[in-house]
Chains A and B, each alone.
Chain A
Amino acid sequence: MKEKTPWFTVRKALSPIRARSLTVLSFLLPLFIWSVVSYVPFIWHPKVEVVEQGGVEWFQKGMLIDREIFLTEVEKTVATNTEAPIGNRVNPVYLPAPHEVATAFYTAFTTEPKRRSEQWLHESLLHSMSVIFWGFLLSSIIGVPLGILCGTFAVVSKSQEPFIEFFRYLPAPAFGALAVAILGIHDGPKIAIIFIGTFFQQVLIVANTTRKLDVSLLEAGLTLGASKAKLLLRIVIPGIIPDLYRDLRILLGWAWTYLIVAELIGTSSGITWFITQQARYKNFDNVFAAIIMIGIIGMVIDLILAKIGQHIFPWESSKNKG
């Protein structure tokens, strides 16, 4: 009765069950590899953690030794007939096991800052989010209208886009020192880096989206008596808004990728400060937890925005049906 559809069909949707299982799998697979490397002792594990010092004087309990060195020391003890050291194969300290990172998700929040002036993790995260928020907001306030104008009027496009096209190749972090000189060492230059990293792409992407609007909608508007201003406000903007919303979601992800670089500029702050600080203390489980947290925050925000999008653009809901 039910025919087996092949997994690989060009541009056909998978059944919901298949789609959902693949989504889960896409997360489980990396986790599985990570677990294998962490928990199966004969895979990788290039170090040995000393449990019993044995006859080797310079060994200490808990020390991590390269496996080759450990083995030559063992051979030496066998030759000299002294007590052999005992050790377990382990991974380097920079690769914590999944369960350690999982606990770190909790402990990172409860780890008290070493100094009073330092921030708790949640404060660091909030600080990072506010930097992104302001950088992205400022960029959008200028970039979105400019992009729409570029996409609508050839005059604006030809006078603005060539320079923007040039500027977008300049790496945002290159402006770090300049931003510090102008804006001081606190949040100013960080927001500026997010802005520079987002703005130029934003104008071009929004302009392109605007240009993709079906011209016949504008022509229909003209034959219905719409003036230039009305065309822009009543047809161009509502016509592109669902695509614009999608663009902004993608660009927001882009802004996040500039975050770490931005926060290193001036006095390091936010989640970046937390990561560098924890790396210094060799709390790599906390480092991993923080990095994964950035991913989770970014993805959750995007999912929320996608859900909101479905509700505010009701005419988009079944667009794909044709």
Chain B
Amino acid sequence: MNSLTLPSYLQQSEHVAARFKKLKEREAILEVQGLYKIFESSQGDITALKDINFKTHRREFVCVIGPSGCGKSTLIRILAGLESPTQGQVLLDGKPKSEPGPDRGMVFQGYTLFPWLTIKKNVMFGLQMKGMANVVAESEAMQWVDLVGLSKFAESYPHQLSGGMKQRVAIARALANQPRILLMDEPFGALDPQTRLKMQTNLLEIWRNIDITVLFITHDLDEAIFLADRILVLKANPGEVEELIEVSVPRPRSPEQLLSPEFLATKKRLEELIHPEGEEGDEGFQLIRMTNIGDDVE
């Protein structure tokens, strides 16, 4: 490892720097101001989120990363309006939001397709909630089903689909409502690595082609770097913003970049942030020899 010298993760090519400059000039879609979430329990209060502040700009892809227990799921649930913050507020296009609504689409970690509806009808659901006529909703839904490449399965039920396909439908269902922002809570967490990479590539493809801002929660460093413009790093106990990293890996991204110097530099920085050395309470392994001396493998 020592022979490899990585550039600083802050080092950006002119091209990338220009892209970030342009990005920050765009209007803010989602703005989080002084967000606190405190859970009361009999053993005292637990601060899940502490003074979270950040903005996402239009068509930006932001990943939120952090160790388990840093409150990243709580954060996204508050953004979606499914939980209310103890303090602070969430602004969408400058307007405070406290209830869930179709302007913030959500893709959940678990499979939340409606099992009693076909794929097409799942995607139509949000459109029907808006009061759209069935015929219109159907043709519109089919466009989204096409977009995620599942038109062959339009009349299938969710239980007939693989995990990756289900999440593609979930993305189509959320996007069909044309939300201002797409909130994704570890949507690919349960998928195998190959499917996951394919899904990430598909997602970037979709993101590039439509006007959508994405906030994506993950605990996978590679996933975060591969997808994001910026990565919001949370730390645990209490969950607060540790750093907001600009990813210098140029776009459009491809799986080959997983080994590029920019990629590795960013990853190294993230690792330092998330797994700082000499972590408290880390006693290391207490190894006891359970094999014979002559039986060593190396």
* Interface positions of A (Cβ within 8 A of B): 214, 216-217, 219-227, 230, 234-235, 238-239, 241, 313-315, 318-319, 321
- Minimum CB distance partner of B83 in chain A: A219
B126 contacts across to A, CB distance below 8 A:
224-225
Say whether, besides A225-B129, A238-B114, A239-B116, A220 and B157 are in contact (CB < 8 Å). no
CA distance in complex: A235, B173 (Å): 15
Q: A223-B106, A227-B129 are in contact. List 15 more A-B contacts (CB 8 A).
A: A216-B110, A216-B112, A217-B114, A219-B82, A219-B100, A219-B112, A222-B81, A223-B101, A224-B126, A234-B125, A235-B114, A238-B117, A239-B114, A241-B116, A321-B159
Say whether, besides A219-B82, A315-B116, A224 and B157 are in contact (CB < 8 Å). no
B168 located at the interface, meaning its Cβ lies under 8 Å from any Cβ of chain A in the complex: no
Residue pair A315, B106 in contact (C-beta under 8 Å): no
| 21 A-B interface contacts by CB (under 8 A) | A219-B80, A219-B82, A219-B106, A219-B108, A220-B108, A220-B112, A223-B81, A223-B102, A224-B102, A224-B129, A224-B174, A225-B102, A225-B177, A226-B125, A234-B125, A239-B114, A239-B115, A239-B116, A315-B116, A315-B158, A318-B159
A217 contacts across to B, CB distance below 8 A:
112, 114
A321 contacts across to B, CB distance below 8 A:
159
CA distance in complex: A227, B101 (Å): 9
Contact digits for B74-103, partner A, Cβ 8 Å, 1 yes 0 no: 000000111000000000000000001110
B112 contacts across to A, CB distance below 8 A:
214, 216-217, 219-220
B104 located at the interface, meaning its Cβ lies under 8 Å from any Cβ of chain A in the complex: yes
B71 located at the interface, meaning its Cβ lies under 8 Å from any Cβ of chain A in the complex: no
A223 contacts across to B, CB distance below 8 A:
80-82, 100-102, 104-106, 174, 183
B177 contacts across to A, CB distance below 8 A:
224-225
* Interface positions of B (Cβ within 8 A of A): 80-82, 100-102, 104-106, 108, 110, 112, 114-117, 125-126, 129-130, 157-160, 173-174, 177, 183
CA distance in complex: A225, B108 (Å): 15
A230 contacts across to B, CB distance below 8 A:
129
A225 contacts across to B, CB distance below 8 A:
101-102, 126, 129-130, 177
- Minimum CB distance partner of A231 in chain B: B129
- Minimum CB distance partner of A227 in chain B: B129
Min CB gap A318→B, angstroms:
6
B129 contacts across to A, CB distance below 8 A:
224-227, 230
A241 contacts across to B, CB distance below 8 A:
116
- Minimum CB distance partner of A315 in chain B: B157
Residue pair B159, A220 in contact (C-beta under 8 Å): no
B160 contacts across to A, CB distance below 8 A:
318
Which one of A216, A222, A224, A239 contacts B173 once the chains associate, using CB atoms below 8 Å? A224
CA distance in complex: A239, B183 (Å): 24
B104 contacts across to A, CB distance below 8 A:
223
CA distance in complex: A226, B106 (Å): 13
- Minimum CB distance partner of B101 in chain A: A225
Min CB gap A245→B, angstroms:
12
Which one of A216, A222, A239 contacts B100 once the chains associate, using CB atoms below 8 Å? A222
A214 contacts across to B, CB distance below 8 A:
110, 112
CA distance in complex: A313, B159 (Å): 13
Min CB gap B47→A, angstroms:
24
A220 contacts across to B, CB distance below 8 A:
106, 108, 112, 114
Min CB gap B259→A, angstroms:
36
Min CB gap B279→A, angstroms:
32
Min CB gap B285→A, angstroms:
34
CA distance in complex: A191, B137 (Å): 47
Min CB gap A240→B, angstroms:
10
Min CB gap B131→A, angstroms:
10
Min CB gap B240→A, angstroms:
25
A227 contacts across to B, CB distance below 8 A:
129
Residue pair A319, B159 in contact (C-beta under 8 Å): yes
Most B C-beta atoms less than 10 A away, residue of A220, A223, A234, A314: A223
Residue pair B159, A216 in contact (C-beta under 8 Å): no
CA distance in complex: A234, B126 (Å): 11
B110 contacts across to A, CB distance below 8 A:
214, 216
CA distance in complex: A217, B173 (Å): 13
B159 contacts across to A, CB distance below 8 A:
315, 318-319, 321
A222 contacts across to B, CB distance below 8 A:
81-82, 100
CA distance in complex: A235, B129 (Å): 12
Min CB gap B116→A, angstroms:
5
For the complex of A and B, the 3 pairs showing the least CB-CB separation, nearest first, are A225-B102, A224-B126, A222-B100
Min CB gap B114→A, angstroms:
6
Residue pair A224, B82 in contact (C-beta under 8 Å): no
Most B C-beta atoms less than 10 A away, residue of A217, A220, A238, A239: A220
CA distance in complex: A184, B69 (Å): 66
B174 contacts across to A, CB distance below 8 A:
223-224
CA distance in complex: A224, B80 (Å): 11
- Minimum CB distance partner of A216 in chain B: B112
Min CB gap B119→A, angstroms:
11
Residue pair A315, B125 in contact (C-beta under 8 Å): no
CA distance in complex: A223, B80 (Å): 7
B117 contacts across to A, CB distance below 8 A:
238
Residue pair B116, A216 in contact (C-beta under 8 Å): no
Min CB gap B125→A, angstroms:
6
Min CB gap B190→A, angstroms:
13
B82 contacts across to A, CB distance below 8 A:
219, 222-223
CA distance in complex: A321, B158 (Å): 13
